[in-house]
Amino acid sequence: MIPKLLSDGNLEEVLSMSSIETQLQYIQIIARYKYAEVFQHLRNVIETLAQKYKECIPILQSCQNSLLPDAVSLELSVVEGQLSFLIHVIGSCLAGQSSSTTASSREEQLSIDAQLVSYSIDIVQCLDARLKASTNTNPPLMWMDIAVMELFQQIRRSHIGYDGYSRGIRVIDSDYEPEIFKKISEIRGTTFSQSDSLTFMVDKM
Alpha-helix runs per DSSP H in the chain: 2-8, 12-15, 17-23, 27-33, 35-62, 70-95, 103-133, 142-155, 163-167, 179-188, 194-204
Place 154 in a pLDDT band, splitting at 50, 70 and 90: confident
Distance CA 61, CA 133 (A): 5
- The closest of 110, 127, 135, 96 to 200, measured between CA atoms, is 127
Backbone angles phi, psi at 170, to 5 degrees: -120, 135
**DSSP notation for 60-83:** HHHTTTSPPPHHHHHHHHHHHHHH
Rounded to two decimals, the pTM is 0.82
Report pLDDT digits (tens) over 82-116: 899 999 999 888 887 655 555 567 788 889 999 99
- 97 within 8 A of 168, measured Cβ to Cβ: no
Angstrom CA distances, 15 to 89, 91, 130, 143, 185, stand at 11, 14, 20, 7, 31
Report pLDDT digits (tens) over 17-75: 778 888 888 888 888 888 899 999 999 999 999 998 888 888 887 776 677 777 777 88
Query: Considering its fold, how many domains does the chain have in total?
Result: 1
The parent domain of residue 131 ranges over 2-204
